[in-house]
Amino acid sequence: MKRNDLHDESSLGVCSSHTLSLKENEQVQLTIKPSEQNYVFVSDFFAGSVLNITVEENAKLQLSLLVKNNFDGAQINVDLGKNAHISTFFADFSKEKEKIKVSINLNGEKSSASWHLASLAAHKDNKEFEINILHHAHETTAISNNFGVSKDQSKLVFSGCSAILKESHGSKTRQNSKIMVFDPECDAVARPILKIDEKDIEAGHGAVVGRIPEDHLFYLTSRGLDESQAKRLITFGYLKPIVRGFQDESIRDEILSLIERRM
Amino acid sequence: MATLIIKDLHAEVDGKEILKGIDLTISQGETVAFLGPNGHGKSTLLNIIIGHPRYHVTKGSIFLDDRNVLAMTVDERSKAGLFFGMQNPVEIPGVINSDFLRASVNAHSSKPISTYNFYKKLDTSTKELKMPFDLATRSLNEGFSGGEKKRNEILQLLLLEPKIALLDEIDSGLDVDAMQTVADVIRKEQEKGVGFLIISHYARLFELIKPTRAIVMINGRIVIDGDPSYIKKIDQTGYEFIKTELGIEIDKDELDMNKVSIGECGIKEIIR
């Protein structure tokens, strides 16, 4: 793996784990060399940060981000080579107003990508995640799973397009977006878009925005949990699966603690 | 010994009166077989006792000893000693079964149970129910078979140790062996003094657990409150005798069509 951050370039080895920290408005280039496998944990990701990633032929990258700061205007751009793979886990506990744009380009044949987002919006947070996944080559596969919780007067938007472009036959793409809203004054929008320019493909999307189902609350309260305990348990279960994308146990504990505290 | 006392209970759902004056008393130590055709109010009564928000009581009372059940929240009813084993337990993705079970046990106790004691109790109970322990580590009811969901309901009964348990068709979805296992567990709970009100359409479960009484609900009213011999009679001849012997016409069960169907691409926005 190479990190080219305008100032420095260093090889970080093969089959290894790394922690990456981006400053405000900093641009970083990560390159995963052919056949390398890397786990990269991004500990800091600020407003204007731009993370450009190239995963070369047959290489694999697991990218895990824990974001607690304002990241307005940040970008993640990914280019995948032939048979390359990226799994991204984005745990968002940032505050205030922000928008991030993610572009994942499946350029090489049989490349694949999975994107997992867990976002918690509270108080007057105003967040938008634009996730674009572009299939440029044949037999590419991608899945985008976005889970959000919106409470108080916050606004949370999941948008973006999964596009299967020409010459991408045999490709598969899927978008899932779910936002749970807690309070009458919060606002949540899930806008999944599919663009299909090729035949012989599979594509699907699903979006749900709604309150905690009444029958879920009834079931849990019928076992003695009061309503706030039941809501907390459901929310915890909704956001908790993101921790599987983080290798370090202390980071996983920190995420669970952030969910607890911010709920 | 706790007693559940229901007097002149009337209730409606979506503006339609379902229960039309229920009088019923169940004490700990009793097992009451709750019979009646579909759509006559049996499940409604159980839901109302535990406090489902969809159902509205328009008249009457429910007391657990001297405590007014209708004045309690749903969780308070559970903590007071009422348990409702549901016909169709909901699946709650992401909520890990063991996390939920532990939170429920803690909600019934003044002091949180230790991790060791909880898992010991869970292990004993899952073995008793012949449940694979890994069900405890999966999302609550998600992907469970019908039989696994019902065993998970009985598992909760074991962990929460209620005074009165209301079981709604707990035997549906159970194969012969699983029904025997569940019946064995119910029998042990009967011996401990738990009171049961059990809805079932099949005599098999009742043969195994030997109810002390049988009640029959027709048209939102309990028209028979008698000895368990009615279970066999109904199993063999159906409900026709209600009309011929008691002169009561049985209303037909009317099923409403689903009003809304949202497919995979549907976007449902309740609050904007």
Phi-psi category of residue B201: left, alpha or beta, with phi > 0 → left and psi -120 to 50 → alpha: alpha
pLDDT bucket at B269, cuts 50 / 70 / 90: very low
Does residue B63 register a pLDDT over 90? yes
Q: Is the pLDDT of residue A5 over 50?
A: no
Q: Is A225 on the interface with B (CB under 8 A)?
A: yes
Structure tokens of B213?
């009484």
CA angle B11, B13, B18 (to 5 degrees): 50
Q: Where are the alpha helices (DSSP H) in B161-238?
A: 176-192, 203-209, 229-237
Backbone φ and ψ for B86, nearest 5 degrees, come out as -85, 155
**Residue A160: C-alpha distances to residues A80, A97, A185, A212 (Å):** 19, 18, 24, 25
Please report, rounded to a whole number, the percentage of residues in chain A having pLDDT higher than 90. 73
> How many Å apart are CA A238 and CA A225, to the nearest integer?
17
* Chain B residues touching residue A240 (CB < 8 angstroms): 94
| Residue B129 C-alpha from the chain's centroid | 18
Residue A232: pLDDT band (50, 70, 90) is confident
Residue B149, helix vs strand vs coil: helix
Among all chains, which residue has been given the structure tokens 């738990």? B194
Higher pLDDT, A235 or B7: B7
Q: Which 59-98 residues of chain B touch chain A by CB within 8 A?
A: 73-75, 77-79, 84, 86, 89-90, 92-96
Query: What span, in angstroms and rounded, lies between the C-alpha atoms of B42 and A171?
Result: 52
pLDDT at res. B130: 92
Assign A213 a pLDDT band (cuts: 50, 70, 90).
confident
Predicted pLDDT at B271:
35
* Candidate from B83-87, B177-181, B245-249 with smallest mean pLDDT: B245-249
- The whole-number average pLDDT for the span A104-127 is 96
**Do A222 and B51 lie within an 8 Å CB cutoff?**
yes
Burial class (CB in 10 A: 0-12, 13-18, 19+), A158: buried
Assess whether pLDDT exceeds 90 at residue A52.
yes
Asked if pLDDT for residue B91 goes beyond 60, the answer is yes
How confident is the model over B96-116, as a mean pLDDT? 94
Query: Are the Cβ atoms of B54 and A186 closer than 8 angstroms?
Result: no
pLDDT tens track for A151-166: 999 999 999 999 999 9
A222 to chain B: which residues are within 8 Å by CB?
Answer: 50-51, 74-75, 77-78, 84, 86
Average pLDDT estimate for A182-208:
92
pLDDT at B12 exceeding the cut of 90: yes
Q: Which residues of A touch B156 (CB under 8 A)?
A: 223
Is the pLDDT score of A7 beyond 60? no
For residues A206 and B268, give the distance between their C-alpha atoms in angstroms, rounded to a whole number.
Answer: 10
Average pLDDT over residues B103-111: 95
Residue B250 predicted with pLDDT over 90: no
Which of the 8 DSSP states describes residue A244? G
pLDDT of residue A47: 87
Give the closest of A190, A215, A222 to B267, CB-based. A190
Residue-averaged pLDDT of chain B: 91
DSSP A59-128: -EEEEEEEE-S--TTEEEEEEE-TT-EEEEEEEE---SEEEEEEEEEE-STT-EEEEEEEEEE-TT-EEE
Averaged over A116-126, what is the pLDDT? 94
The CA distance from B140 to the nearest CA of chain A, in Å, is 10
**How far is residue A88's CA from residue A61's CA, in Å, rounded to a whole number?**
8
Residue A247 predicted with pLDDT over 50: yes
Supply the pLDDT for residue B67: 97
Listing DSSP states for B36-100 in one string gives --TTSSHHHHHHHHHT-TTEEEEEEEEEETTEEGGGS-HHHHHHHTEEEE-SSPPPEEEEEHHHH
Q: What pLDDT sits at residue B254?
A: 55
Whether residues B96 and A237 touch (CB distance < 8 A) is answered with yes
**Lookup result for tokens 């990218």:** A63
Assess whether pLDDT exceeds 70 at residue B220. yes
| Amino acid making up residue B108 | H
Which 3-state string (H, E, C) describes A200-233?
Answer: CCEEEEEEEEECCCHHHHHHHHCCCCCHHHHHHH
- Residue in chain A closest to B99 (alpha carbons) equals A233
pLDDT for B13-53, tens place per residue?
A: 989 999 999 999 999 999 999 999 999 999 999 999 999 99
d(CA A123, CA A152): 5
Q: Do A205 and B160 touch (CB under 8 A)?
A: no
Q: How confident is residue A14, by pLDDT bands cut at 50, 70 and 90?
A: very low
Question: Tell me, what's the pLDDT at A2?
Answer: 56
Q: Residues near B14 by Cβ (< 8 Å), separated by ≥ 6? A: B54
3-state SS class at A142:
strand
pLDDT of B4 higher than 80? yes
**First-to-final CA distance of chain B:** 50
pLDDT for position A12: 42
Interface size A-B, in CB pairs within 8 Å, comes to 105
The reported pLDDT for the residue numbered B165 is: 98
**A225/B104 touch (CB, cutoff 8 Å), yes or no:** yes
Higher pLDDT, A1 or B97: B97
Phi (first) and psi of residue A43, to 5 degrees: -90, -30
Give the angle subtended at the CA of B62 by the CAs of B58 and B63, to the nearest 5°: 150
Specify which residues A156 forms β-bridges with: A127, A188
CB B70 within 8 A of CB B61: yes
Q: Over range B112-138, report the average pLDDT.
A: 92
Residue of A nearest to B78 (CA): A224
As given in the structure block, the two tokens for residue B32 are 């009451």
Q: How would residue B263 be classed by pLDDT, with cut points 50, 70 and 90?
A: very low
Percentage of chain A modeled with pLDDT above 70: 94
A211 and B271 within 8 Å at the Cβ level: the answer is yes
Interface contact A193, partner B, CB < 8 A: no
Asked if A249 is an interface residue toward chain B (Cβ–Cβ < 8 A), one would say no
Helix (H/G/I), strand (E/B), else coil: B192: helix
Q: What is the pTM of this model?
A: 0.79
Residue B254 DSSP symbol? P
More reliable by pLDDT, A65 or A231: A65
Q: Tell which wins on pLDDT, B171 or B173.
A: B171
A207 touches chain B (CB under 8 A): yes
pLDDT reading at A239 higher than 80: yes
Least confident of A238-247, B129-138, B247-256: B247-256
